[in-house]
Amino acid sequence: MYFLGSLVWSGYGTFTWSNGDQYKGNYVNSLRNGFGVVMYAKSGGRYEGSWFNDKMHGLGTMTWPLTGDIYTGGWVDNKRKGFGIYRWAATGDVYEGNWFDDKMYGRGTMTWSLTGDTYTGDWVDDKRTGFGTYRWAATGDVYEGNWFDDKMQGQGTMKYTKDGRSVYTGKFYQALRAGTGTLMDRDGKILYDGQWENDSFIGTKR
């Protein structure tokens, strides 16, 4: 590290705050720039990666020791942004995809470790919203269509396996079949075509 004037320094160095937090890495004009590692004394958290103008910016990894969670990916102004992978230690769940303002936002894939289920599609503020595909590992069922507020909602197609691979195409509301929809068997024969409510057909069976 070298000094440019009495209070300005650049190069590699270590700085320790009065609360015990510590940074080791590169400085430019007394600001963290380039690669560096910060360790938070109170939480035990650790960030290792790129910095720009004293903020986490670029590619980096944050580890939260209290939970064991780990995030590796893009950062902008101290927030997760861009592509990144988040792993929840308690559940084993993994999200791999886009982030914005510290939240899952854009295209991404979530895998639930306990069930093996997966969702690939759009996210808004940590919730499935937009178009996406959900696969149930236990049954083999697949939903492909619109989502809102973390639930199947709007136009979509559900492919069932337990009842002979029937297919429902139509409207959903809060994860239930509701509105106009058609249920066909595996050979394409129409079984139900019309109005649905609370996941049940309320029209006349063909």
Task: Tell me the CATH number at 82.
Answer: 2.20.110
Instruction: State whether 9 and 98 are in the same domain.
Output: yes
Does residue 92 share a domain with residue 12?
yes
* Residue 69 near residue 88 (C-beta atoms within 8 A): yes
Q: How many CB atoms lie within 10 A of CB 96?
A: 15
Question: Is residue 81 located within the same domain as residue 144?
Answer: no
Distance CA 125, CA 119 (A): 16
What pLDDT is stored for residue 163 in this prediction? 72
Q: Cα 63 from chain centroid?
A: 17
Report yes or no on 79 lying in a domain: yes
Could you tell me the residue range of the domain that residue 100 belongs to? 1-104
| pLDDT for the residue 204 | 76
Strands (E), 5-113: 9-16, 22-28, 31-39, 46-52, 55-64, 69-76, 79-87, 94-100, 103-111
Report the C-alpha gap between 57 and 52 in whole angstroms: 5
The answer to whether residues 97 and 8 belong to one domain is yes
What tokens appear for 119 in the block? 């969702």
Regions of the chain short of the pLDDT cut 50 = none
**Are both 140 and 83 inside the same structural domain?**
no
20 and 65 both lie in a single domain: yes
Residues in the chain: 206
Tokens 């990916």 -> residue: 73
Residues 100 and 144 in one domain: no
Q: For residue 109, tell me if it sits in a domain.
A: no
The total number of structural domains in the chain stands at 2
> Cα(85)–Cα(204) distance, rounded to whole angstroms?
48
In a domain, 192, yes or no: yes
In contact, 180 and 171? CB cutoff 8 Å: yes
Domain membership of residue 127 (yes or no) is: no
In angstroms, the CA 83 to CA 163 distance is 39
Q: Quick check: 182 and 164 in contact, CB under 8 A?
A: no
Strand partners, 61: 48, 72
Pairing of strands 142-148, 9-16: unpaired
> Tell me, what's the pLDDT at 1?
52
The tokens describing 171, both together, are 């409207």
